[in-house]
């Protein structure tokens, strides 16, 4: 399996190290696409791959699957062209799908071209549980409370806990596009962006990004808390988000699917 990565940041480098150096996946990263030429060339040299600044050259190379590991804007701009070129796709910036029309366009394009789009669980778990709970429409309430340090939210000068947002997931994604991808993932697995409630709290006392998920319905109740360590060198990204992409790659072609 030849893998292409869109992005040259922390998650991209983590995947390159895990795949090309540590051989954690049955496959190899043969191409990296991005706008940062210095970073891209550095990754290509370190991990023996090819760097492209031109998308057409990247997508026409000998890749079988593309991993978006960049930003919401990149996912929005290139998801459809990736599928139109006959490549499967893993999207880490699921916030791009806050636009229902875009989600439907991606869905139809994947169907028309016989491709698969995988949205990893990212920094949270329990997506399979929510899907099961809502299999017959019995999911009534979903709320996620995200608690992060001010630094991880790009804020300074906050010395005590402060609630930054309390509202629907769709609005949260627009307000915090780089920080609450988890909210949209929960919405897609559950009851949608308007019914899923999100709280975002800046808390200088926390050392880990914390997500508390609560759900109610005909199945019963759920309450689970995930405490994530950040990616080394990037406090805005949870380490688990990178691990979930790696897990998605390891599952490619797996004859037994759990969950």
Report if residue 257 sits inside a domain.
no
- Whether 211 sits among the annotated catalytic residues: the reply is yes
pLDDT confidence of 259, banded at 50, 70, 90? low
Whole-number pLDDT of residue 98: 86
CB distance 143 to 213 below 8 Å:
yes
Q: What is the arithmetic mean of pLDDT over 166-181? A: 85
Report if residue 256 sits inside a domain.
no
Q: What is the arithmetic mean of pLDDT over 155-164? A: 90
Report if residue 171 sits inside a domain.
yes
How far apart CA 20 and CA 27 sit, in angstroms, is: 8
Q: Judge whether residue 258 has pLDDT over 80.
A: no
Whether 118 and 147 share a structural domain: no
Whether 113 and 142 share a structural domain: no
Q: Mutual orientation of helices 100-112 and 72-84 as an angle, nearest 10°?
A: 20
Whole-number pLDDT of residue 201: 96
What residues does 228 pair with on adjacent strands? 209
Report if residue 158 sits inside a domain.
yes
**Which structural domain range is residue 73 located in?**
2-122+239-251
Whether 9 and 111 share a structural domain: yes
Of the residues 211, 238, 243, 244, which is catalytic? 211
Whether 116 and 244 share a structural domain: yes
* DSSP code at position 114: T
Specify the higher pLDDT residue, 34 or 127.
Answer: 34
Report if residue 259 sits inside a domain.
no
Whether 145 and 222 share a structural domain: yes
Q: Judge whether residue 131 has pLDDT over 70.
A: yes
CB distance 173 to 95 below 8 Å:
yes
Q: Judge whether residue 235 has pLDDT over 80.
A: no
Whether 131 and 221 share a structural domain: yes
Whether 141 and 195 share a structural domain: yes
Q: Judge whether residue 153 has pLDDT over 90.
A: no
Query: Phi/psi at 162 (nearest 5 deg)?
Result: -145, 125
Report if residue 258 sits inside a domain.
no
How far apart CA 24 and CA 127 sit, in angstroms, is: 24
Whole-number pLDDT of residue 1: 96
Cα torsion 217, 211, 158, 170: sign: negative
Whether 7 and 75 share a structural domain: yes
Report if residue 116 sits inside a domain.
yes
Whether 116 and 158 share a structural domain: no
Write out the binding residues: 123, 181
pTM of the shown model: 0.90
Give percent of the chain above pLDDT 90.
Answer: 69
Number of domains in the chain: 2
Residues whose CB falls within 8 Å of the CB of residue 159, separated by 6 or more in sequence, listed in order: 204
Closest CA to 49 of 85, 10, 12, 74: 12
DSSP β-ladder status, 88-91 and 230-231: unpaired
pLDDT confidence of 52, banded at 50, 70, 90? very high
Closest CA to 204 of 156, 144, 172, 145: 156
Q: Judge whether residue 233 has pLDDT over 80.
A: no
CB distance 179 to 236 below 8 Å:
yes
Whether 145 and 112 share a structural domain: no
Q: What is the arithmetic mean of pLDDT over 183-197? A: 92
State how far Cα 240 lies from the chain centre.
10
Whole-number pLDDT of residue 11: 95
Residues whose CB falls within 8 Å of the CB of residue 117, separated by 6 or more in sequence, listed in order: 79, 83, 88, 89, 90, 91, 106, 107, 110
Q: What is the arithmetic mean of pLDDT over 157-178? A: 88
CATH number of the domain enclosing 26: 3.40.50.720
CB distance 206 to 148 below 8 Å:
yes
Whole-number pLDDT of residue 84: 99
CATH number of the domain enclosing 218: 3.30.360.10
Whether 49 and 112 share a structural domain: yes
Whole-number pLDDT of residue 152: 81
Whether 131 and 146 share a structural domain: yes
Write out the binding residues for NAD(+): 123, 181
């Amino acid at each position: 399996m030849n893998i292409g990565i869109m992005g040259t940041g922390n998650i991209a480098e983590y995947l390159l190290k895990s795949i090309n150096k540590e051989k954690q996946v049955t496959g190899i990263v043969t191409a990296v696409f991005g706008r940062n030429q210095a970073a891209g060339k550095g990754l290509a040299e370190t991990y023996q791959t090819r760097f492209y600044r031109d998308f057409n050259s990247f997508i026409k190379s000998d890749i079988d699957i593309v991993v978006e590991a960049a930003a919401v804007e990149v996912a929005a701009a290139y998801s459809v062209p990736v599928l139109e070129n006959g490549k499967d796709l893993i999207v880490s910036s699921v916030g791009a799908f806050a636009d229902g029309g875009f989600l439907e366009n991606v869905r139809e394009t994947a169907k028309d071209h016989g491709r698969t789009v995988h949205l990893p669980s990212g920094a949270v778990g329990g997506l399979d549980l929510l899907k099961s709970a809502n299999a017959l429409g019995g999911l009534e309430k979903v709320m996620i409370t995200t608690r992060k340090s001010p630094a991880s939210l790009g804020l300074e000068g906050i010395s005590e806990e402060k609630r930054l947002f309390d509202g629907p997931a769709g609005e949260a994604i627009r307000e915090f596009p780089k920080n609450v991808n988890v909210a949209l993932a929960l919405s897609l697995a559950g009851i949608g962006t308007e019914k899923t409630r999100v709280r975002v709290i800046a808390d200088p006392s926390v050392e880990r990004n914390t997500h508390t998920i609560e759900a109610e319905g005909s199945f019963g109740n759920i309450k689970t808390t995930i405490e994530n360590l950040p990616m080394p060198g990037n406090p805005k990204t949870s380490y688990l988000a990178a691990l979930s992409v790696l897990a998605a790659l390891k599952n490619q072609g797996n004859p037994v699917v759990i969950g």
